[in-house]
Amino acid sequence: MIEVRNMKAPKLQIFLDGAKTSLSPAGMVLFLTFFAYGALVASSNLPVELGLGLTIFVFAIPGQVVLVDEIARGSSLISAGLLTTFTSIRLLPLTVSLLPVIREESTPKWLEIAIAHFIAVTVWVQSMVNLPPLPKDQRALHCLGFCIALLLFTSCGTILGFYAAHLLPPNIAAATLMITPIYFFLSLRETAKRKTERIAFVLGITLAIPLTIWFPNWALIGSGLIGGTVAYLSVKRGQRGQFNDK
């Protein structure tokens, strides 16, 4: 549980308190996710340096999986990059809504940018729960400790997953590759709270079936743009209809 220290707590102590909060179910799920991602990198015949580099410099699992999967399927770097861009735009609203919780007037810009590098779903959810009980001047450092600990977890997960894919018996190795779709399926369903996103989720799954079979290279961008736009427009039209009814 979160310990609330007094105002004069030493900086290192706050940092370590933050790091300790990574030893939680959320931290374990994240480790497992990156373990599965490491196995994916190995199964895609890509080198471990690439997998680890992306974990450190991207630190957002959906984008990493899209990028690795696209590269493994022989897409061009530009189209793989564009797809990754689309999956990463969701970090913008996450950052916008989380930063006011973390910062105070005196928080240096570099610290905000350093923390922002780690903002993705796990850090967002955990920080929204863990930080508000703390005094404002401790939050940034506490959060940084949490993020650095997660970086350590995820890097180890990536490396272990990569080598496990080669060492484990084939059935178990296949099972580790199931972690990513199961995890994405459950967590995306949970985070898709708005009506637009729920419709987009169903449309994305449905459209991907014919597209993967007949146009595998266009499956992601096609399902994403068509499914997302149709979901957005249908909800918008529904809202306008309601206004007209009044």
Partner 1 sequence: MINDLSIFLIILVGFLATEPWRWAGVFFSKNLDENSEIILWVRAVSTALIAALIMRLLLSPPGSLEEAPLVVRLLAVLCATLTFFVFKKRLLLSIAVGLVSFLILLWCLPILEGSPI
Positions 189 through 218 that interact with partner 1 (CB under 8 A): 190, 192, 194, 196-197, 199-205, 207-209, 211-213, 216
- Give how far the C-alpha of residue 33 lies from the chain's centroid of Cα atoms, to the nearest Å: 10
Of the two residues 4 and 186, which places its CB atom closer to partner 1 in the complex?
A: 186
Q: 32: buried, middle or exposed (CB in 10 Å: 19+, 13-18, 0-12)? A: middle
Query: Among residues 16 and 111, whose Cβ is nearest to partner 1?
Result: 111
For the bound state, the minimum distance from the C-beta of residue 23 to partner 1, rounded and expressed in Å, comes to: 13
End-to-end CA distance of the chain: 50
| All residues at 6 or more sequence positions from 237 whose CB lies less than 8 Å from its CB, including other chains | none
Q: Are 139 and 4 in contact (CB under 8 A)?
A: no
The minimum distance between CB 120 and partner 1, in angstroms, equals: 9
Segment interacting with partner 1, rule: CB under 8 A, options 5-13, 26-34, 131-139, 141-149: 26-34
Which one, 65 or 149, has the nearer CB to partner 1?
65
- Least distance in Å: CB of 20 to partner 1? 19
Residues 53 to 112: which contact partner 1 by CB under 8 A?
A: 53-54, 57-60, 62-67, 69, 71-72, 77, 80-97, 99-100, 109, 112
**Cβ nearer to partner 1, comparing 17 with 66:** 66
For residue 52, give Cα distances in angstroms to 65, 86, 217: 12, 22, 25
Residues between 116 and 175 that touch partner 1 (CB under 8 A): 116-117, 119, 165, 170-175
Binder of partner 1 out of 12, 163, 178, 238 (CB under 8 A):
178
Q: Is 6 helix (H, G, I), strand (E, B) or coil?
A: coil
Q: How far is the CB of 7 from partner 1 (least distance, A)?
A: 26
Asked if 147 and 113 touch (Cβ cutoff 8 Å), the reply is: no
Instruction: Give the count of beta carbons closer than 10 Å to the beta carbon of residue 26.
Output: 18
- Per CB under 8 A, contacts with partner 1 among 214-243 are 216, 219-229, 231-232
Cβ(70)–Cβ(204) below 8 Å? no
Of 162, 125, 149, 172, which Cα lies nearest the Cα of 49? Answer: 162
Q: Nearer to partner 1 by C-beta: 7 or 78?
A: 78
- Residue 166 near residue 19, CB atoms below 8 Å: no
Q: Which residue, 54 or 144, has its beta carbon nearer to partner 1?
A: 54
CB of 184 to partner 1, least distance (A): 5
